[in-house]
């Protein structure tokens, strides 16, 4: 099985998509990566879904990536004596640490870290930004505010603090337990919520100990400001537009998205665009035209992946949502404007032999009649460098390391294949051409570009590019060694 598109689709699993039949249907419809949302369900639920995905992987013979999304610290108000109160513009309202039930004048905010960071003039957002309050005066255990945008406040509503860096760790105790569980389970990627600084990422990577790659969710203004450092520390990025659109003016999110996607591509690190991409398909079998344009826009920008959240986890039409994304991706990638945009946004990054090799491979593929670029990698870096080039031909990513192959599934344009352990370049050529034929990329009359490194099985040695025929008789005739 091969995909006839380059962008990848991430589908979140949940109550609507827990059975083997449904997960397999999502995979067959086009899902490449499955997301386990650690904010919902328990470890037994996630273990069952993980085991189902791996069983489907075994049946289909195609590597599948699994992403565990950590919840992160949740900031919420306390409870109200009467359940809810209406706050009107201009009203005074107080947040404090008092555990007494709230009323129309105050409520508990059980997060002393917030009070430590607040200053007069700071803004507090409640219930996804539907209610906005300006801090007039504050101390170590209170904040007296003025309501600037009114609404109904009720029990346990979420709180956002957009304009300060909070002295909160990105990993709560629950996250630490979930991280260890996910790593022991064998997930390929960890998504880290509430990232504010590079140190948050470094802490998660220290705990992961290389068992899973760490992807940072950009959902805080502080993360946007520190993005270059966070990108350098991360293995990948998710542009999580939900909280980002709450904490920043909503009109600022599209240019931020474009900027972050381009920076990820320049750094050769995969990026996912997420949140509300096909939101109406939670309840409708058809998306809105605006949603289709949103998905298409992310693909035109060159994102590695687009993601479904509630659409596939809890919606009524999960398979239709994946099919819609697949159809949009195919349509966009068939458009000549897409290729023009992708080519125009390519920036030469020639700092190493590997950079030069992958650039040469892409140029050879685009100026000769080759069917694919076949690349071997011990760490996945060579594959990411090739994907950064966004070549016009498919990328066949090969490695003997199962974990590396699965992580590469998230990368743009890759068809991932597990190979035997190889020791000679000719073995690599033979395995590459067989993969090209077996998966329908070429027949025996075509050629492929092969990229590898000698000595074999040593990360960071990419130093060979070769054009090879897909007819093994010609391989042996031209290279008797």
For the segment 164-214, what is each residue's pLDDT rounded down to a tens digit? 888 888 899 999 999 999 999 999 999 999 999 999 999 999 999 999 999
Query: How much is the average pLDDT of 305-334?
Result: 98
- Longest Cα–Cα distance of the chain, Å, equals 86
Query: If you write DSSP's letter for every residue of 98-167 in order, what string do you get?
Result: --SPB-SSEEE---HHHHHH--TT-EEEETTTTEEEEEEEEETTEEEEEEEE-EEEETT-BEE-TTS--S
pLDDT at 416 over 60: yes
Note the pLDDT of residue 481.
47
Check pLDDT > 60 for residue 462: yes
Residue 478 pLDDT grade (very low, low, confident, very high; cuts 50, 70, 90): low
For residues 372 and 471, the answer to whether their CB atoms sit within 8 Å is no
Averaged pLDDT score across all residues of the chain: 94
Across the beta sheet with 123-126, the strand order is 106-108, 92-96, 142-149, 131-139, 123-126, 159-160
Task: Determine the distance from the C-alpha atom of residue 253 to the mean position of all C-alpha atoms in its chain, rounded to a whole number.
Answer: 17
**pLDDT higher than threshold 80 for residue 475:** no
pLDDT per residue as tens digits for the range 267-286: 999 999 999 999 999 999 99
Which of 88-92, 371-375, 378-382, 456-460 is the least confident region?
A: 456-460
For residue 285, give the 3-state DSSP assignment.
coil
pTM tops 0.75:
yes
Tell me the mean pLDDT in the region 2-26: 97
Extract the tokens encoding 325: 């994304």
Query: Average pLDDT of 100-120?
Result: 95
Q: Report the C-alpha gap between 235 and 269 in whole angstroms.
A: 6
Write b or e for each residue in 273-289: b if 16 or more Cβ atoms lie within 10 A of its Cβ, otherwise e. Answer: bbbebbbbbbeeeebee
Which residues are annotated as catalytic? 35, 76, 217, 275
Q: Are 344 and 334 in contact (CB under 8 A)?
A: no
Asked if residues 402 and 417 have their Cβ atoms less than 8 Å apart, the reply is no
In the predicted model, what is the mean pLDDT of residues 253-260?
97
As a whole number of angstroms, the distance between CA 38 and CA 433 comes to 40
What pLDDT shows up at residue 163?
A: 82
What confidence tens digit (pLDDT) does each residue in 90-99 have? 999 999 999 9
pLDDT at 103: 95
- Give me the CATH topology for the region 8-72+169-332: TIM Barrel (3.20.20)
Q: Rounded distance, CA 4 to CA 357, Å?
A: 26
Sorting pLDDT into bands at 50, 70 and 90, what band is 422? confident
For the chain, give the percent of residues with pLDDT over 90.
86
Q: Dump pLDDT digits (tens) for 52-77.
A: 999 999 999 999 999 999 999 889 99
463 vs 295, residue with greater confidence: 295
Q: Which residue has the higher pLDDT, 347 or 8?
A: 8
Output the pLDDT for position 476: 66
Please tell me which residue, 396 or 464, carries the higher pLDDT value.
396
**What's the confidence (pLDDT) of residue 70?**
97
Q: Residue 349's pLDDT band (boundaries 50, 70, 90)?
A: low
pLDDT at 351: 75
Confidence of residue 460 (pLDDT cuts 50, 70, 90): confident
Q: What are the φ and ψ backbone dihedral angles of 363, each rounded to 5 degrees?
A: -65, -40
pLDDT of residue 450: 95
Q: Which fold has domain 84-160?
A: M1 Pyruvate Kinase; Domain 3 (2.40.33)
Contact 65, 397 (CB under 8 A): no
Q: Is 350 helix (H, G, I), strand (E, B) or coil?
A: coil
Fold adopted by 353-478: Pyruvate Kinase; Chain: A, domain 1 (3.40.1380)
Residue 196 is predicted with a pLDDT of: 94
- What percent of the chain has pLDDT above 70? 98
Query: What angle (nearest 5°) sits at the alpha carbon of residue 334, between those of residues 386 and 441?
Result: 55
Model confidence pLDDT, tens digit, residues 213-223:
999 999 999 99
Predicted local distance difference test score (pLDDT) of residue 352: 86
Q: Residue 385 is inside which H or E element, if any?
A: helix 381-388
How far is residue 195 from each of residues 115, 203, 231, 316, 383, measured CA to CA in Å?
A: 19, 11, 11, 32, 27
């Amino acid at each position: 099985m091969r995909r006839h598109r380059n962008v990848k689709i991430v589908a979140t699993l949940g109550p609507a998509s827990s059975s083997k039949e449904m997960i397999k249907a999502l995979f067959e419809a086009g899902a490449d990566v499955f997301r386990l949302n650690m904010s919902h369900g328990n470890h037994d639920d996630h273990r069952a879904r993980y085991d189902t995905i791996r069983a489907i992987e075994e049946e289909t013979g195609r590597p599948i990536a699994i992403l565990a999304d950590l919840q992160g610290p949740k900031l919420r108000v306390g409870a109200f004596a009467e359940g809810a109160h209406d706050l009107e513009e201009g009203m005074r309202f107080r947040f404090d640490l008092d555990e007494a039930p709230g009323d129309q004048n105050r409520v508990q905010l059980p997060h002393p870290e917030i009070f430590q960071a607040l200053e007069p003039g700071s803004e507090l957002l409640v219930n996804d930004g539907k209610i906005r309050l300006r801090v007039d005066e504050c101390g170590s255990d209170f904040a007296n505010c003025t309501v600037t945008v009114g609404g109904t406040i009720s029990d346990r509503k979420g709180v956002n603090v957009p304009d300060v860096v909070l002295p909160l760790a990105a990993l709560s105790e629950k996250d630490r337990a979930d991280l260890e569980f996910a790593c022991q389970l064998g997930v390929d990627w960890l998504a880290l919520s509430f990232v504010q600084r590079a140190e948050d990422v470094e802490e998660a990577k220290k705990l992961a100990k290389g068992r899973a790659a760490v992807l940072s969710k950009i959902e805080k203004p502080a993360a946007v400001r520190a993005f270059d450092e966070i990108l350098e520390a991360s293995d990948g990025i998710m542009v999580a537009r939900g909280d980002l659109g709450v904490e920043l003016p909503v009109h600022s999110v599209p240019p931020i998205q474009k900027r972050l996607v381009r920076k990820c591509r320049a750094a050769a690190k995969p990026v996912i665009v997420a949140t509300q991409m096909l939101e109406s398909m939670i309840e409708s079998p058809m998306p809105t035209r605006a949603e289709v344009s949103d998905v298409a826009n992310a693909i035109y920008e060159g994102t590695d992946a687009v993601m479904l959240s509630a659409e596939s986890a809890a919606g009524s039409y999960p398979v239709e949502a994946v099919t819609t994304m697949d159809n949009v991706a195919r349509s966009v990638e068939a458009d000549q404007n897409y290729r023009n945009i992708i080519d125009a946004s390519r920036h030469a990054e020639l700092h190493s032999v590997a950079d030069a090799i992958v650039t040469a491979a892409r140029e050879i593929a685009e100026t000769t009649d080759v069917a694919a670029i076949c690349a071997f990698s011990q760490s996945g870096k060579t594959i990411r460098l090739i994907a950064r080039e966004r070549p016009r031909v498919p990328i066949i990513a090969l490695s003997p390391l199962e974990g590396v192959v699965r992580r590469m599934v998230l990368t743009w344009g890759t068809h991932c294949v597990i190979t035997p352990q190889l020791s000679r370049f000719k073995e690599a050529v033979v395995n590459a051409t067989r993969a090209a034929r077996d998966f329908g990329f070429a027949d025996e009359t075509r050629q492929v570009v092969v990229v590898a490194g000698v000595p074999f099985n040593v990360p960071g040695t990419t130093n060979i590019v070769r054009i090879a025929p897909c007819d093994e008789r010609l391989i042996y005739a031209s290279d008797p060694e």
